[in-house]
Every structure is written in structure tokens, then in C-alpha cells.
């Protein structure tokens, strides 16, 4: 490799600013702030659910300490702050934040009045049945896998998601140059709408 010390490269500051801003914007949009329409999840939520699935925390299993789940997620798939991961985990367990919670939490997971959840060493969690529908057949090559942050493991680009999760749960997020705000919907009504769309090419507003 050539020695780069002392080497000068002349670039146009306008072009460099455009490239840097675009790279940053795409990183925020794709990797952090906005959900993927295919499974309705942001990366941190997807990684938490996948880590819990790999840990065997199915609805019929015993609860595991949230601290253990956070550590597993951070060490294998999401090398960011532990509190950011825990906050995301807590939200997935709150029935006042999620139309259909994807995590079954045991302990103090906060309240609608703004009370924060107990520390991760006190709370426990496992997957809900609806989360299992999101992960159904993931070990059978149903979705694309990509190397994790250090290349030692594989993680899903998105979950199989038998459910239209983005419509069910809704989502809010502010990225760079764009944002999303989708309200949650009732599962039965979404199924009726999908069935109607499949069965009929055109339909009236009343239908």
C-alpha cells in the first residue's frame, strides 16, 4: 500500500459537500430512521427480534433478562449504545406504543404517563406469537442474509413477515430530507382490505 502521509488531493469543496451530505442522508434513511416497507421495522428493532429468535425466546419459553437480550443484540448485530437498544426493546413491549406488541415484557416497562421502564437488569422479555409470524421460516432461506458488522455472522436484510407490519403498527421517523408518519391499523380490517384488493380489480369507495 502506498504511503498516504503528506499526500495532497485537490477536490472541489462543492462536490465534496454534496457527496458527504448524500452519503450521510442515505445512511440515516436506510440504516436508522425509517422502516423498511417489507417488514415495517427499523434496523434496531429487526436485530432485537432476530437476536431473541436465535436465543430461543419463543412465546412458550421462559423469560430472559432484558440485559442479556441487549448484550446479545449489541455484541452480534447492533454495535451501538446499550440504552438505545433497550429503549427500542421497551417500545416493542408497550401495548400503548405498539398496536400489537412484538415482545412480551415482564416487569415495569413504563406507562402512558411518561414513566420510564425499570433498568434492564430488572425486566425480562420474550417474543409474542405475532412476532413469531414475522420470523416464520426465516431459517429456511426465505429472506436475504447479509454479513453483520464484523463479518462473523449473518443477519437478515428484512424479516419474512407474513403480516403487513408497517400498516398494522404504523411508524414515525425523521430522517434527512424526509420523514414518515403512518398510523396503526386493525389486523382484521387490513386483512379485509387485502382480500378485497386481491378479489376485485376495481371497487367502490364504500367497499
Mean pLDDT of 125-145: 96
Q: Is 157 exposed, middle or buried (0-12, 13-18, 19+ CB in 10 A)?
A: middle
pLDDT of residue 156: 97
pLDDT of residue 169: 93
Quick check: is 122 catalytic?
yes
Q: How far is CA 55 from the centre of its chain?
A: 17
pLDDT of residue 28: 64
Strand locations in 71-189, DSSP E? 103-106, 124-127, 145-147, 154-156, 171-174, 179-182
pLDDT of residue 29: 64
Mean pLDDT of 61-79: 98
d(CA 192, CA 207): 10
Convert the pLDDT of each residue in 34-66 to its tens digit: 788 899 999 999 999 999 999 999 999 999 999
Where along the chain do its domains lie? 13-200
Exactly one of 24, 77, 86, 122 is catalytic; name it: 122
pTM to 2 decimal places: 0.84
Which CATH number is 13-200 given? Answer: 3.90.199.10
In the DSSP assignment, the letter for residue 201 is: S
Q: Does residue 17 surpass a pLDDT of 80?
A: yes
Amino acid at each position: 500500500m502506498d504511503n498516504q502521509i503528506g499526500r495532497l488531493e485537490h477536490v472541489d469543496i462543492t462536490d465534496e459537500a454534496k457527496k458527504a451530505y448524500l452519503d450521510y442522508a442515505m445512511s440515516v434513511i436506510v440504516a436508522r430512521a425509517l422502516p423498511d416497507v417489507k417488514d415495517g421495522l427499523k434496523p434496531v428493532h429487526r436485530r432485537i427480534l432476530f437476536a431473541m429468535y436465535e436465543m430461543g425466546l419463543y412465546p412458550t419459553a421462559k423469560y430472559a433478562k432484558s440485559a442479556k437480550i441487549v448484550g446479545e443484540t449489541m455484541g452480534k448485530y447492533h454495535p451501538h449504545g446499550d440504552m438505545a437498544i433497550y429503549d427500542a426493546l421497551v417500545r416493542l413491549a408497550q401495548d400503548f406504543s405498539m398496536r400489537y406488541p412484538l415482545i412480551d415484557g415482564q416487569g415495569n416497562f413504563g406507562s402512558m404517563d411518561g414513566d420510564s421502564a425499570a433498568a434492564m437488569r430488572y425486566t425480562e422479555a420474550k417474543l409474542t406469537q405475532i412476532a413469531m409470524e414475522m420470523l416464520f421460516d426465516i431459517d429456511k432461506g426465505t429472506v436475504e442474509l447479509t454479513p453483520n458488522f464484523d463479518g462473523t455472522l449473518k443477519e437478515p436484510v428484512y424479516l419474512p413477515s407474513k403480516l403487513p407490519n408497517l400498516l398494522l403498527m404504523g411508524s414515525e421517523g425523521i430522517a434527512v430530507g424526509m420523514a414518515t408518519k403512518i398510523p396503526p391499523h386493525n389486523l382484521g380490517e387490513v386483512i379485509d382490505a387485502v382480500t378485497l384488493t386481491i378479489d376485485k380489480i376495481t371497487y367502490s369507495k364504500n367497499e
